[in-house]
Structure 1
Amino acid sequence: MRRLLVLVAALSLTACSQAPATQEAGQAAAPQAGFPVTIENCGRKLTFDKPPAKVVTGYHPSLETLLALGLGDRIAGRTNFSESPFLPGQKDQYAKIPEISDTIMPPQKEIMLAQGADFVLDNAMAGFDAAGGYATVEELDSAGSPVYILGGWCSPEEVLQFTIDDTFTDLRDLGAIFGVPDRADTLISDLRGRLADVKKRVEGRTPVKVLATDGGKGPINAYGGSGITNQMIALAGGVNVLADVKGDYTEVSVEKISAAQPEAVLVSDYATLRGEDMPSSPAKAADAFAIARNSPAAEKQRYLALPVAAQHPGYRNILAITDIARFLHPDAFTQ
């Protein structure tokens, strides 16, 4: 089971929650251009009469995505990931935002509700599970803190159905919610340009056989033929040696890994959670090489430490495709 934010418990969303209704017409302030805005997320309709001004973000990719849209001044609280590798220019912005949780998860229910946020952004449902002591999506909606889940990661099934286009949908939605559609369009255009550049560079080249792993000595935690990591590999000019394995993050037998003969290995890097039970990326790579000891990847000790934040929905996963492509096809980036 994924150690980070892949859903530890699926939260059933049977009711159609909605952000608080507008005030009586006679009391309402003059409407802002482009508002109200209604967005659908996780089967719920969220209506905004004005751009959110007091935002709480969860795991790293949610904060990164808002910062990429130039919305750092709207973020009133964030979780902790101080050891995580930051994207250029973002660490200083992170440091200025109040920390409301000393882990990557949202704070417990009472603290979360006390924030008085008018928008909550995260990329998994795990942080809204009542069994974990967290405020639920419905409770936050009722408190005037509507929740948006990036990538449509609203259930285990939807995690598997994720496509890179869902990231562009999120950017468009956030551009509309915050009244900055032009910024969103500019960012989307830039990211699509990056993807097009990678496609042009790797086109016609023999795909590199890739094993994506999160470590283990047997069975090994690895990424199968569904979900975000599998797509990043394909878009970067690789082919997932576990493409026939059902699921995204799953356990795979030693025999399967040994027979896969990968030419390169991607290792999930948890910079924020190192400890006795969290081996380093070199250690994970060494375990993979020991299992696939006769593979081309093992012979060349060829691996890339991939920040696990890139394996969750958000702005970074598209940037990571270029990094993976450079790793798999370095000669395609010499000019």
Structure 2
Amino acid sequence: MSRPPHTHARHRTGRGGRITSRLLVLVTALTLTTACSQPSTEGSAQVTEQAAPGFPVTVENCGRKLTFDRPPSKVVTGYHPALETLLALGLGDRIAGRTNFSESAFLPGQKEQYDKIQEISPTIMLPQKEIMLAQGADFVLDNSMAGFDAAGGYATVEELDAAGSPVYILGGWCSPEEVLTFTLDDTFDDLRNLGKIFGVSDRAEALISELQGELADVKKRVEGRTPVKVLATDGGEGPVNAFGGSGITNQMIVAAGGENVLKDVKGDYTEVSAEQISASEPEAILVSDYATLRGEDMPTSQAKAEEAFAIVRNSPAAKNKRYLALPVAAQHPGYRNILAITDIARFLHPDAFAQ
């Protein structure tokens, strides 16, 4: 998903010709060199007079320093994990516009909030340049650079900065290279930064503590158990769209007590030959799931699993028909990817969760 699968509009190049957001990330890596459009000048008396209590605050993102004199109040979010993350921080009332989300199930309690927010794009991608600039947002949150590509008709980061709409990219997915260096700590860093930006650091730290507690519980449960050999795939009969040993999906597999059979393959979302997949001998398979996009030319998770079973037909995974449909939104930066680790661990090590 380097995604992102939209994207993370997404854009997967599935058999249906959908462009995968993961691949869109590779389309363009924009150079971010401008400062946030709400920059405050350090030491300025004017900034001191205008700043809200506890502000200004400065965070770093994509090689830029973004400074805010007050919490954003008119936010636009891109691919759904960005919206989910703000809702988890209790910031739904700050979101003025969002993109469409119809590729998998909502997290508990979030669908009602989603329905109350204006939809400004019928896809998971941000709207085209004119529409985006007309939003008058004071903060834009997304998790890939795909939605800021001028060649695709989108407003660039620089143009949004100039319009007073600073951009923050989750997970440090600021370039194809940085997609590969993602670690779970990046999600916690994002939560901490968003807490500062919105003046809700206490909420952010409480959420971080809760999520770290869940990860610690998983680690304790799977500790000492033999890692389960896992193939993570998004389908294909050859080459296969699969997940290598770099990036977010590999991080989740390892944290859940698994071993990625493609750990030696450089890349996150990448194409792997059927021969290499056949030789991998997985014990379990993770399938990227676009639950509500089934139909048309988008294969079901079960269909993609059957494709994988046919390729690794002599493997333990194929013999036991053992697979888990993993919501594609969980394979992108955001609050959900931490939650998904528990689900993967329960799938890989059910006995560890029997009590």
| Contact 1:42 1:154 (C-alpha < 8 Å) held by counterparts | yes
8 Å contact from structure 1 (residues 267, 284) kept in 2: yes
State whether structure 2 residue 196 is matched by structure 1 residue 196. Answer: no
Letter aligned with residue 319 of structure 1? L
TM-score by length of 2: 0.91
Q: Percent identity?
A: 78
C-alpha spacing 1:192/1:243, structure 2 compared with 1 (3 Å): same
Deviation at 1:210, TM superposition (A): 0.3
Q: Is the counterpart of residue 181 in structure 1 residue 185 in structure 2?
A: no
Query: What secondary structure, in the 3-state scheme, does the structure 2 residue paired with 1:212 have?
Result: strand
Q: Does 1:205 align with 2:225?
A: yes
User: Counterparts of 1:1-335 in structure 2 under 5 Å?
Assistant: 2=3, 3=12, 4-6=20-22, 7-13=25-31, 15-22=33-40, 25=45, 31-335=51-355
Q: Secondary structure at the match of 1:322?
A: helix
Partner of 1:306, secondary structure, is strand
Deviates further, 31-40 or 53-62: 31-40
- So what's the TM-score if we normalise by structure 1? 0.96
State the one-letter code of the partner of 1:157.
Answer: E
What do you get for the CA RMSD once the two structures are aligned? Answer: 1.6
Deviation readout 1:16-59 (Å, 9 max, x if unpaired):
33223459856975532220011111011111000000000000
Alpha carbons of structure 1 residues 102 and 162: separation in structure 2 relative to 1, 3 Å: same
Cα separation, 1, equivalents of 2:120 and 2:171: 24
Which sections of structure 2, spanning at least 5 residues, go unmatched?
Answer: 4-11, 13-19
Amino acid at match of 2:147: G
Q: How many Å separate the matches in 1 of 2:180 and 2:343?
A: 23
1:137-161 deviations in whole A, cap 9, x for unaligned?
0000100000000000000000000
- On the 8 A contact 2:50/2:69 being kept in 1, the answer is no
Q: Offset at 1:163?
A: 0.3
Q: Distance in 2 between matches of 1:30 and 1:164?
A: 36
Q: What does the per-residue CA deviation read over 1:143-193, in whole Å, with 9 as the maximum and x for residues that have no partner? A: 000000000000000000000000000000000000000000000000000
User: Is the 1:81–1:272 contact (alpha carbons within 8 Å) kept by the matching residues of 2?
Assistant: no
* Bigger Cα displacement from structure 2, 8-17 vs 322-331: 8-17
* Structure 1 residues 300 and 77: alpha-carbon distance in aligned structure 2, compared to 1, 3 A threshold: same
Distance 1:150 1:272, change over 3 A: farther
1:81-131 deviation per Cα after TM superposition (whole angstroms, max 9, x unaligned): 145211110000000000000000000000000000000000000000001
Q: Is the 8 A contact 1:215 1:222 kept in 2?
A: yes
What residue identity is the alignment partner of 2:65?
A: K
The verdict on how the C-alpha distance between 1:135 and 1:331 changes in structure 2, with shifts beyond 3 A counting, is: same
Code of the residue aligned with 2:183 in structure 1: it is T
- C-alpha contact 1:16 1:43 (8 A) present in aligned 2: no
For residue 68 of structure 1, what is the amino acid of its counterpart?
Answer: A
Residues 214 and 146 of structure 1, relative CA distance in 2, 3 Å threshold? same
Distance 1:257 1:43 in 2: 37
Q: Distance in 2 between matches of 1:120 and 1:194?
A: 29
Distance 1:302 1:317 in 2: 21
Q: Any idea what SS the aligned residue of 2:60 has?
A: strand
